[in-house]
Amino acid sequence: MEMRLAEDLRYSKAGLKEFEVIGSPKVEVLFYHAELFASHLQGTKQIVKLNIIECYSLTALPISSLSSTLKEIRINLNRKLKLELSVSEMISSISNMFLERLTLDGCYSIDDIPPEFVPSTRILRIERCYRLTRLLIPTGIEILEINICENLEILSVACGTQTTSLLDLHISKSQKLKLPPEGMHELLPSLKKLVLENCPETESFPEGGLPFNLEVLQIVDCKKLVNGRKEWRLQRLSCLISLFIFHDGSDEEILGDENWELPCCIRHLWVSNLKNIKQSSAQKPHLS
């Protein structure tokens, strides 16, 4: 199998831009001979996309052997894959990989994602990784999407490290996540958009509140979080222009509590099944 692949690449590598493996029962043969495989991909100078789909026997991905020209890697339904890097692979990946997008979807054996695995990825999407319990947000990413990772409990930023590049954080259907990243108001200073959907155990925002530069906040079906909204202190967010809240109507009215005032900069407001919203006394927002 690997020799036939090598022969094909030898004659087509000049124009090869995308490589895809789907449902290969012997994909481990290909990746056990990673040096042979990588030598041909490195020679293309044009390969930009790698898709590995439904290769159930794949257990490891040789990061250090992949072409530095790659811009997108998608790993889908690879049930045995684990992300375990040696020191040499970590150093190599940091210096050589500059991905536009990395997608990990249906990788059921992954319980942790080392930040070194994605040091230079602009968009990181993690979906249906059911054993994932914790995630340290890598530096350098701009968009992080987490969907249907029902056992994710801890989402954090490296202590003392500002992740100044993260602009968009979207978390959906994380059944056990109780708190967004601790210290996010200081450690995620560039965050512009925060979306939380179907996170039933998320009770509050972390101490210190939300990042001051936040522009868009969307909360959908997060019952405990919305019921504790008097602690959100949204009026401190001088850049917040869009607020979207979809609730089940189970909350009680908050009376005479200025902590639920909206900032005067709000321009777009969409609220469903929520009681008692007050405008900031400083200035009425112009809503649309």
| pLDDT on residue 213 | 94
- Would the pLDDT of 152 be above 70? yes
Tell me the C-alpha distance between 111 and 132, whole Å: 4
| pLDDT on residue 235 | 87
Contact 187, 207 (CB under 8 A): no
Contact 182, 160 (CB under 8 A): no
| Averaged pLDDT, 149-178 | 86
Beta strands in 94-221 (DSSP E): 99-105, 121-127, 134-136, 143-147, 154-156, 168-172, 193-197, 216-220
- Would the pLDDT of 253 be above 60? no
| pLDDT on residue 162 | 62
- Would the pLDDT of 277 be above 80? no
Poorest-pLDDT segment among 107-121, 146-160, 191-205, 231-245? 107-121
- What is the average pLDDT score of the chain? 75
| pLDDT on residue 111 | 81
- The pTM assigned to this predicted structure is 0.79
- Tell me which residue of 127, 168, 160, 163 sits closest to 146, measured CA to CA: 127
| pLDDT on residue 172 | 96
Tell me the C-alpha distance between 133 and 101, whole Å: 22
Cβ neighbours around 10 below 10 Å, total: 10
Q: Which two tokens stand for residue 214?
A: 């936040």
Percent of the chain scoring above 90 in pLDDT: 26
